[in-house]
Amino acid sequence: MSIYLGFDASTQSLTAIAIEVTGSRRQVLLERTLGYDDALPGYGTRHGVLPNDDPLVATSSPRMWAEALDRMMGEIASSGLDLTRIRAISGSAQQHGSVYLNADAAPVIEQLDATRPLVEQIDRIFSRPDAPIWMDASTAAECAEITASVGGAAALARLTGSRAFERFTGPQIRRFARRDPTGYARTERIHLVSSFLASLLAGHHAPIDPGDGSGMNLMDITTRAWAPAALDATAPELLRRLPPLAPSWAVVGELAPYWQHRYGFPRARVIAWSGDNPCSLIGTGMVREGAIAISLGTSDTLFGLLHTPRIDPTGAGHVFGAPTGDYMSLVCCRNGSLAREQVRATFGLDWAGFSRGLRETPPGNGGAIMLPWFAPEITPPVIEAGVRRFALDPGNAAANVRAVVEAQMLALALHSRWMQVTVDTIYATGGAAANREILQVMADVHNAEVCQLAVGNSACLGAALRACHADRLADGDVPAWEDVIAGFVAPAAETRVRPVPAHVALYDDLARVYEAREAEALRRL
């Protein structure tokens, strides 16, 4: 029996999934989540983000992520799972966030003392105490400078797969190098969240995979190598500070002695970690072109696999590397779960009450529309937050519930048109995919059946499946992705939500109105 372990270090929590793969016998053996705010309150995060007076700034704590990993490994060790059967471990992490390490990092993580907690030992390895994360919107100036330096937004998108985005790692590095030149000078290695956590597991600096590397505005999307023009436009002597790029199935090394001696883990293979969306691509079974998945996590994302890169001419979407070696298209809206939660909190509702609001209001909301920019938005780009309401009574709970969900689904549909995929089925994942009323709006807006998956945390499952794939490859087998995901990535048939033709027609019209409202609001910004 072989066991594979996957982690997902997402914005708000760390999840672990252990899967068993023995021939056709495939099952999830363990699934655990640790929410940062509640499990590690000493860091003072809210929804996984450190408090900051500037609404454009969003950072988190790399120490907290490390402590969460240490604690989760301890929990897995005492869960009764047969650790000796673990063959490989991989992970998924929120994308774009960056961790800045000094010259002490390499020797410290190589010689971790198994008698002391991890977090006590890594205190002095950071050249910057916090890590900017994907919710940060403070780098507009750096984006403009990088764009100008590489010859414009279209040129940067052709080179790296995306125009410059505030949350992408390159603009974040530029801001750090400029605001804290001493800290930058002391920085020996800049990791993504994914490669940082992989490094802690392996006991040495891990590489970055093309799935997460393409979220930096630094990687040549076609050659999957660092792009010199982008590096030069970003910060001095950047190349030597970046980890190498390696395929998503690269074996980083063996689990470091710390984990073996402290918790009794075996010398399992550590496989390169990737971003949560690339991992979700695997965990939702999007291993063929022509299907899409929508993840309703902290961010709302829509993505699908591409065999050849296709750049969004409107500049809203991204092309990333896929962990299969192909590409993936992606649209990301920041005002996802936290916007839904804000409406819920305003009216004192629980999720049942939120769903009731959707059931009690007609599709189309009687013409009421919301532009749900509770926080700065990524798609479409809105730096100054502010919710807009059109014919929508701000005091009407049910109408506001419907308005936020309809707006989110219409925005995802509108800004994914460039992908040119006609879908008949959408796989829904992420925390809010548990909500059937939300999925009904998704089905009606996209005119597609919506399925939930048996394993809800597709990013974490995708990481475990990638560990299995890479382990088999390293043994000389060349497994087909369909075979890797078989038995795990199955739509739960009873959860299928079908579009209602009358609602589809209505949303067709509403989409045009929404598009016009959005365009008008963007013009006024």
Buried (b) or exposed (e) across 100-133, using 16+ Cβ within 10 A?
bbbebbbebbeebeeeeebbebbeebbbbebbbb
**Which residue's CB comes closest to ligand XUL?**
95
For position 299 contacting ligand XUL by CB under 6 A, the verdict is yes
- Residue 328 touching ligand XUL (CB under 6 A): no
Q: Which of 231, 332, 439, 451 binds ligand XUL (CB under 6 A)?
A: 332
Which residue number, 167 or 191, has a Cβ lying nearer to ligand XUL?
167
Closest contact distance (angstroms) between CB of 64 and ligand XUL is 16
How many residues in the chain? 525
Residue nearest to ligand ADP (CB): 431
> With respect to ligand ADP, which residue has the nearer C-beta, 11 or 214?
11
Query: Could you say which of 248, 301, 379, 458 contacts ligand XUL (CB under 6 A)?
Result: 301
Q: Is residue 275 near ligand XUL by the rule CB under 6 A?
A: yes
Q: DSSP states of 194-250 as a string?
A: HHHHHHHHHTSPPPB-HHHHTTTT-EETTTTEE-HHHHHHH-TT-GGGSPPB--TT-
Q: Which does residue 446 touch among ligand XUL, ligand ADP, none (CB within 5 to 8 A, set by kind)?
A: none
Unique residue bearing structure tokens 């807006």: 445
Task: Please tell me what DSSP assigns to residue 273.
Answer: P
Contact of 92 with 459, CB cutoff 8 Å: yes
Whether 37 and 45 have beta carbons less than 8 Å apart is answered as yes
- Residue 138 interaction partner, one of ligand XUL, ligand ADP, none, beta carbon < 5-8 Å per kind: none
Quick one: which segment of 24-32, 123-131, 271-279, 401-409 binds ligand XUL (CB under 6 A)? 271-279
Q: Is 96 in the site for ligand XUL (CB under 6 A)?
A: yes
Q: 217 is in the binding site of which of ligand XUL, ligand ADP, none (Cβ under 5 to 8 A by kind)?
A: none
Taking Cα atoms as reference points, which of 436, 437, 449, 434 lies closest to residue 291?
A: 449
Query: Residue 396 carries which side chain, given as an amino acid letter?
Result: N
- Beta carbon of residue 268, minimum distance to ligand XUL (angstroms, whole number): 26
Find the binder of ligand XUL among 7, 134, 354, 514 (CB under 6 A): 134
Does position 280 interact with ligand XUL (CB under 6 A)? The reply is: no
Q: Which of 10, 137, 6, 136 is nearest to 64 (CA)?
A: 10
How far apart (Å, rounded) are the C-alpha atoms in residues 184 and 516? 44
User: Which one, 351 or 418, has the nearer CB to ligand ADP?
Assistant: 351
What mask of x and - would describe binding to ligand XUL in positions 182 to 221, judged by CB under 6 A?
---------------------------------x------
| The entry of ligand ADP, ligand XUL, none that residue 13 binds, CB within 5 to 8 Å by partner kind | ligand ADP
How far are the Cα atoms of 41, 46, 62, 298 from residue 36, in angstroms, in the given order? Answer: 7, 8, 12, 14
Residues that bind ligand ADP (CB under 6 A): 10-13, 297-298, 337, 340-341, 351, 430-432, 434-435
Dist. CA 366–CA 507, nearest whole Å: 12
Position 60 contacts ligand XUL (CB under 6 A): no
- Using CA atoms, how far apart are residues 170 and 143, in angstroms rounded to an integer? 9
Omega of the bond leading into 380 within 30 degrees of 0 (cis)? yes
Cα–Cα distance, 471 to 250 (Å, whole number)? 9
> Which of these segments, 16-24, 275-283, 364-372, 385-393, binds ligand XUL (CB under 6 A)?
275-283
Nearest-approach distance from CB 143 to ligand ADP, in angstroms: 24
Structure tokens given for 165: 């985005």
Near ligand XUL in 154-183, by CB under 6 A:
167
**Element at 112 (helix H, strand E):** none
Question: Shortest distance, CB of residue 429 to ligand ADP, whole angstroms?
Answer: 7
Interacting residue ranges for ligand XUL, rule: CB under 6 A: 11, 94-96, 134, 167, 215, 275-277, 297-299, 301, 332
